Structures are given as structure tokens and as C-alpha cells.
């Protein structure tokens, strides 16, 4: 495996099993014989050394696919939306399916960085940085689709309340406009959260950079960070505030996305369960994507002792929990369809399982209801191949879920004379694949140039960070506040 990576030249890191649940002592969050310096080196050298061969190969493939996306967008803009299979009644089809899929992926990153932070889940420190990066890249992929779906993207500025020659304003009663505000706020706040958390680690790269270009670039990005206690004091406060702000935000974003559907009158969309169901699904699908990236990344980058087996195990458990919420929501959808006594609603749900898109309906249940149940078994959570297989099922399942909701509800219009099938064209499929290319291109560049792990945060959960006298020091923000007699 010498060709696999530069990391492999060193003594191979031992992948230590820390998934045991022994209540007598806390499982270590960083395994192996690591101190602060070795953790810094392990992470920083990824940005300092020339990338491995596999990285170049992966980047070549991913950026080609990203190029395909750009080319197809050019084709779409010069030709028109007729290049898609989108039709009437299936007016939303692939672009909106892809949009909801990608925006959902992002939610796991914010959950890890904000909600798990508020709940003091210290294990998040190993994975939060690249989960946040994943959020930003997923939101970027998501943003493309509604923008090109408007048909005339050069008029997309109509979405924003900009004074214009028509003296008209966008319609604030429409959930589609709420979406514009929710997604753009989400993108901005995620980017800020990611960047702020990264400032101390960018300073680490600045202090280790050998080349002049690296020193200047990381020097500018780290803003002159010195790591003084006064800086840390305000930094921690800002980080806590951002986490508290991002928590309701992340719950609101997919709720607002679900309003795009739920506020309409269409059977299959007009459901009060949509907001919580969408949020749970987003977290489920997002964690599947985090696992899809984390499981190979920890081997390829030699980070097994920082992103440990316990991290993988915990993420599988979150997928299982949110997967069960999703399964429950599916059940309730079918139950309410039957219980409502509403003809259109009932026929829609019969069509979902026995109609022209029955293949999607059943595959969806297989991927999102059956597959995650494997995570009940400990072996499936600790075997990387099994983790990847189930996560892939979930990724496919979450895309299908949006396909079933969008196309599955649109293709049977109220009058049989208006029924119509949707068939994706090569442009539809090319754009979907191309968006994965763009996502992976950005992710590979991130892995090469930025700190992949939140170094400063990981160090706080290592035992060396604690003076012997004050055990539980760093989780004792509250205690400090009491001691310093107020806010902190």
C-alpha cells in the first residue's frame, strides 16, 4: 500500500478499539500514545506534505465531474430547461430533488458542531471540522439547483428584496422565499462558524509553514492569532454563542425546506409531520455522508487515533436513532393517508407502493427503514465495510426519499388526463453526478490545504490538558462562571 499515501511510510498507527462501555472509566477520545505534539503533527502534516498519488487520482476524477456539471449548466443556460426531463405535471423533478438532498446532507455538520457542542458531547471534536466543511460544500451544491431551476437564472436577483425598476418586491408570503432567506442564512452562518473555529488551527499551520507562500496565506487567514487567554476567552464565548444561534437555525432550515411542500395543497405534500420528519431525515442522511467520508479518510490520512472507532460507533448510533424517527414518520404518513379518508391522499399512497414508481417506493423502504437496523448489531458498527455499505444505502435512500416525495406526488395529478411520467434525460443524470464531483473536489482541496481536525479542540479533551487538581476542568465552564462571579 506504499502508493496509497505519504502517511504510510511511518510506523502504521494502530487502530485501537475504544468502543467498550465500561462504566468504571471514561473511554479515551484520542487513543494510542499521543501527546499534543504528535496530534499536531499528524494533522498538520496533511497540509504540509505533498499529497499522495491517490489524492491526485481522486482529484482528477472529481474535478472532471465538476467540470461536467459546469458544462451542463452552460448547455442548460444556452438551450433552455427543455434539456431536462422536467415537464408538466412533474415541474420540480431532479433539480429540486437534488437541492433537498444536498441541503439535507449539510445538517449533520451543523448538528455535530452546534448541537453536540451545547450537549457537551466531547467526542465531536475529532470529526466536527470536516463535518462542517462537508456542510458548506453540500450547501454550495444545493444552492446551484434552485438557481438554475428558475429557468432564467439571470433574473435570480428577483428572489432578493432589491429595489428595482418595476417597483415590485418578492412575495414574502411564499415558502419559496422563506427558503431563500433560510438557505442563504444557513450558508453564511455555517461558513462563519467553520472559519471562526478554524482560526487557531490556521495559526498552527502558519507557525509550521516552511514555504513563503504558506506563511503568507496561513498568516493572513489566521488573522494574527496569538492564543492569549484574553483571545481564547472571547473566542470561546463567541463559539458558544454561535452554537446557540446555529442550533435553532439548523432545525429551521429543513423545516422551511419542508414548508415548500407542506404549505401547498398537493396530496403527499400537505402534511403537518413534514418539518420534524425532514429534519430527522436530514440528520440521518447527513450522518450517512459523514460516515461515507470519515471511514475511508481516517485510513487514508492515518487519523485512526483521532477519529477513533468510538466516533464511528457513535455516528452509527445517531443514524440508527434518526433512522427510526424517519421510519416512524413514514409509518405515520401512510396511517394518516388511510385515516384521513381523503380519496386523493389514499390513492397517492397506494400508487407510492404499487404505482409506476413502486420500484422507488420499495427501494426507499429498504434503504431507510430496513438497512439502518443492521446498526443494532455491534459488529456492523465496528466493521468499516459494513458501516460503509449501510451508509451508502442511506445515501441512496435519502435521495430516493426526495424523489418519491417530489415526482411521486406530482406525476399523478388530480385528473387522470393530466397524469404524466417523468424520465430523466442524460443532462439530469449528468448534473446529479456532476454535483457529487463538485462536492468531492471541494472536499479533497479542503483535506489538502486546511486543518482537517479541530486541533485546539481535540487537545482540550486529552488528559494532558487537565491540571491534576481540577479534574473535569474543561467541561467546567459553568464552575468557572461561579468562581469568577458571573459571566465569563
Partner 1 sequence: MTQVDSPQVATPRRPQAAQEEELYGLLAEFEDVPAVKSAAHALKRAGYRYFEVYSPFPIHGLDHDLDIQPTILPWLVLGGGLAGCVGGLALTIWTMAVDYPYLISGKPFNSLPAWIPIVFECTVLCSALTAVFGMLLLNQLPLLAHPLLKVSRFRRVTDDRFFIGVLKRDKLFDAERTAAFLRKQGASAVELVSL
- Residues 194 to 253 in contact with partner 1, rule: CB under 8 A: 195-196, 199-201, 203-204, 206-208, 220, 223-238, 241-242, 245-246, 248-249, 252
Q: Tell me if 189 contacts partner 1 by CB under 8 A.
A: yes
Query: 221 or 369: whose CB is closer to partner 1?
Result: 221
Residues 388, 216: Cα–Cα separation, whole Å:
39
- Interacting positions 33-52 with partner 1 (CB under 8 A): 35-37, 40
Please check whether residue 38 is in contact with residue 200, taking contact to mean a CB–CB distance below 8 angstroms. no
- Interacting positions 152-181 with partner 1 (CB under 8 A): 161, 167-169, 171-173, 175, 177-178, 181
Cα 67 to Cα 101, 146, 213, 317, distances in angstroms: 21, 19, 27, 36
Q: Which stretch binds partner 1 (CB under 8 A): 139-147, 296-304, 361-369, 465-473?
A: 465-473
- Interacting positions 91-130 with partner 1 (CB under 8 A): none
Q: Tell me if 474 contacts partner 1 by CB under 8 A.
A: yes
- What are 250-254's contacts with CB under 8 Å, separation 24+? 250/107, 250/110, 250/111, 250/114, 250/115, 250/186, 251/279, 252/182, 253/103, 253/107, 253/182, 253/183, 253/185, 253/186, 254/103, 254/104, 254/107, 254/278, 254/279, 254/281, 254/282
Residue from the set 49, 71, 353, 480 that interacts with partner 1 by CB under 8 A: 480
- Interacting positions 258-317 with partner 1 (CB under 8 A): 259
> Distance of alpha carbon 484 from its chain centroid, rounded?
38
Q: Which stretch binds partner 1 (CB under 8 A): 87-95, 323-331, 382-390, 471-479?
A: 471-479
Residue from the set 256, 394, 438, 452 that interacts with partner 1 by CB under 8 A: 256
Nearest approach, Cβ of residue 29 and partner 1 (Å)? 14
Q: Which stretch binds partner 1 (CB under 8 A): 19-27, 269-277, 439-447, 452-460?
A: 452-460
Q: Which residue has the cell 471541494?
A: 442
Residues 123, 31: Cα–Cα separation, whole Å:
12
Nearest approach, Cβ of residue 90 and partner 1 (Å)? 25
Nearest approach, Cβ of residue 467 and partner 1 (Å)? 4
SS3 24: coil
Nearest approach, Cβ of residue 315 and partner 1 (Å)? 24
Query: 172 or 379: whose CB is closer to partner 1?
Result: 172
Q: Which stretch binds partner 1 (CB under 8 A): 139-147, 312-320, 323-331, 459-467?
A: 459-467
Nearest approach, Cβ of residue 106 and partner 1 (Å)? 15
Query: 448 or 466: whose CB is closer to partner 1?
Result: 466
Nearest approach, Cβ of residue 204 and partner 1 (Å)? 4
- Interacting positions 418-447 with partner 1 (CB under 8 A): none
Cβ contacts of 429 within 8 Å, gap of 6 or more: none
Residues 434, 63: Cα–Cα separation, whole Å:
9
Residue from the set 3, 78, 211, 484 that interacts with partner 1 by CB under 8 A: 484
Q: Which residue has the cell 403527499?
A: 268
Neighbours of 197 (CB within 10 A): 23
Cβ contacts of 7 within 8 Å, gap of 6 or more: 45, 46, 52, 300, 301, 302
Residues 53, 149: Cα–Cα separation, whole Å:
38
Q: Which stretch binds partner 1 (CB under 8 A): 16-24, 95-103, 363-371, 458-466?
A: 458-466
Greatest Cα pair distance, the chain, in angstroms, is: 78
Q: Tell me if 456 contacts partner 1 by CB under 8 A.
A: yes
Q: Tell me if 465 contacts partner 1 by CB under 8 A.
A: yes
Nearest approach, Cβ of residue 34 and partner 1 (Å)? 11
Q: Tell me if 469 contacts partner 1 by CB under 8 A.
A: yes
Residues 221, 218: Cα–Cα separation, whole Å:
5
Hey, what's the cell of 151? 429557468
Amino acid at each position: 500500500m506504499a502508493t496509497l499515501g505519504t502517511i504510510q511510510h511511518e510506523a502504521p498507527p494502530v487502530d485501537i478499539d475504544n468502543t467498550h462501555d465500561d462504566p468504571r472509566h471514561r473511554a479515551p477520545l484520542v487513543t494510542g500514545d499521543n501527546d499534543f505534539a504528535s496530534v499536531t503533527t499528524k494533522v498538520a502534516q496533511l497540509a504540509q506534505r505533498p499529497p499522495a498519488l491517490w489524492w491526485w487520482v481522486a482529484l482528477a476524477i472529481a474535478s472532471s465531474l465538476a467540470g461536467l456539471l459546469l458544462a451542463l449548466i452552460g448547455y442548460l443556460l444556452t438551450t433552455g430547461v427543455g434539456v431536462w426531463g422536467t415537464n408538466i405535471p412533474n415541474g420540480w423533478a431532479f433539480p429540486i430533488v437534488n437541492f433537498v438532498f444536498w441541503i439535507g446532507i449539510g445538517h449533520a455538520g451543523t448538528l455535530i458542531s452546534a448541537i453536540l457542542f451545547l450537549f457537551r458531547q466531547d467526542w465531536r471534536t475529532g470529526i466536527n471540522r470536516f463535518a462542517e466543511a462537508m456542510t458548506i460544500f453540500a450547501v454550495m451544491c444545493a444552492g446551484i439547483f434552485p438557481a438554475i431551476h428558475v429557468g432564467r437564472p439571470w433574473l435570480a436577483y428577483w428572489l432578493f428584496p432589491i429595489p428595482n425598476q418595476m417597483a415590485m418586491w418578492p412575495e414574502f408570503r411564499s415558502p419559496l422565499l422563506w427558503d431563500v432567506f433560510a438557505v442563504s442564512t444557513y450558508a453564511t452562518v455555517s461558513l462563519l462558524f467553520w472559519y471562526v473555529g478554524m482560526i487557531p488551527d490556521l495559526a498552527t499551520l502558519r507557525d509550521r509553514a516552511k514555504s513563503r507562500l504558506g506563511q503568507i496565506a496561513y498568516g493572513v487567514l489566521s488573522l494574527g492569532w496569538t492564543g492569549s487567554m484574553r483571545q481564547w476567552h472571547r473566542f470561546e464565548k463567541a463559539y458558544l454563542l454561535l452554537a446557540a444561534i446555529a442550533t435553532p437555525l439548523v432545525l429551521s432550515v429543513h423545516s422551511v425546506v419542508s414548508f415548500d411542500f407542506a404549505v401547498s395543497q398537493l396530496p403527499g405534500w400537505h402534511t403537518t409531520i413534514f418539518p420534524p420528519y425532514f429534519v430527522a431525515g436530514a440528520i440521518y442522511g447527513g450522518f450517512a455522508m459523514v460516515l461515507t467520508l470519515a471511514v475511508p479518510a481516517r485510513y487514508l490520512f492515518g487519523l485512526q487515533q483521532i477519529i477513533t472507532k468510538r466516533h464511528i460507533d457513535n455516528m452509527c448510533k445517531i443514524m440508527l436513532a434518526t433512522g427510526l424517527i424517519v421510519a416512524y414518520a413514514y409509518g405515520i404518513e401512510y396511517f394518516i393517508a388511510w385515516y384521513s379518508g381523503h380519496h386523493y391522499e389514499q390513492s397517492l399512497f397506494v400508487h407510492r407502493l404499487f404505482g409506476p414508481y413502486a420500484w422507488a417506493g420499495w427501494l426507499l423502504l429498504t434503504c431507510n427503514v430496513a438497512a439502518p437496523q443492521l446498526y443494532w448489531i455491534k459488529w456492523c458498527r465496528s466493521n468499516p465495510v459494513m458501516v460503509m455499505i449501510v451508509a451508502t444505502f442511506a445515501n441512496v435512500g435519502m435521495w430516493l426519499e426526495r424523489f418519491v416525495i417530489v415526482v411521486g406526488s406530482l406525476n399523478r395529478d388530480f385528473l387522470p388526463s393530466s397524469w404524466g411520467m417523468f424520465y430523466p434525460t442524460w443532462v439530469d443524470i449528468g448534473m446529479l453526478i456532476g454535483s457529487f464531483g463538485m462536492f468531492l473536489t471541494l472536499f479533497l482541496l479542503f483535506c489538502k490545504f486546511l486543518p482537517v481536525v479541530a486541533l485546539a479542540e481535540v487537545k482540550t479533551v486529552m488528559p494532558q490538558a487537565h491540571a491534576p487538581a481540577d479534574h473535569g476542568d474543561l467541561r467546567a465552564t459553568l464552575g468557572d462562571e461561579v468562581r469568577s462571579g458571573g459571566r465569563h
